[in-house]
Chain A
């Protein structure tokens, strides 16, 4: 069975510090990988996605993620966070049958 694990339920960080949100997945077949952000009381917005090709994927708002097939990981990074990045972040995978499977989410809390 396929699954997505987000190891940290909450990540506190100071403003302008770098951050990494971890995501590991389990799948026996090729997958597509996504990171979504959910701001308070809003729906989800796509940050970035990996479908194929370059393993380093750049997204909106200065975020990037690296696909690592050997470690089955897709960690999200940002070199310098802002207060406005405070939100919940979800990693997700999709298989060839188009089912979308989400991790449990990581709440990023940026402090001044």
Chain B
């Protein structure tokens, strides 16, 4: 089944404790992206990647890191999480750059205390 998977789905952590949210797709997509969703703000793009070893900042990259060492994986790293990073995070992927249909993962709900 074609899908985008994220782990963990739910995470509670404390300020300053490094964490990684994994994202994996099995559709051989070149383009992958991370978003955060906050009430009243919609989804905002954090980082995106056009292909392996090619990443770029979205609109809200501060406090986040990403890497794209393999085509299927695009982990999101929070080196020192803060409470304002409490949010719902989505990973997405697509063919043909961003013009292709973006497939979204099920989301990761993060609470930073």
Contact = CB atoms under 8 A, between A and B. Distances in A.
Interface of A: 4, 6, 9, 32, 42-46, 49, 51, 90, 92, 94, 97-105
Interface in B81-102: 90, 92, 97-99, 101-102
Contact of B43 (A6, A32, A90): A90
A46 B101 contact: yes
Contacts of A105: 42
B99 A104 contact: no
Contacts of A98: 31, 48, 50, 97-98
Interface in B52-106: 56, 58-59, 90, 92, 97-99, 101-102, 104-106
A32 B33 CA distance: 17
User: Interface residue tally of chain B, by bracket?
Assistant: 20 to 34
A102 B43 contact: yes
A102 B40 CA distance: 11
Q: Find the residue from B41, B42, B92 having the highest chain A CB count within 10 A.
A: B42
B101 A102 contact: no
A9 to B, nearest CB: 8
A51 B96 CA distance: 13
14 contacts: A6-B42, A9-B40, A32-B98, A32-B99, A42-B106, A42-B107, A43-B105, A90-B42, A92-B43, A99-B48, A100-B35, A100-B45, A100-B98, A100-B102
Contact of B42 (A32, A51, A97, A102): A102
Contacts of A102: 35, 42-44
A90 B31 CA distance: 20
A94 B98 contact: yes
Nearest to B3: A43
B45 A101 contact: yes
B38 to A, nearest CB: 10
A32 B41 CA distance: 20
Contacts of A43: 4, 90, 104-107
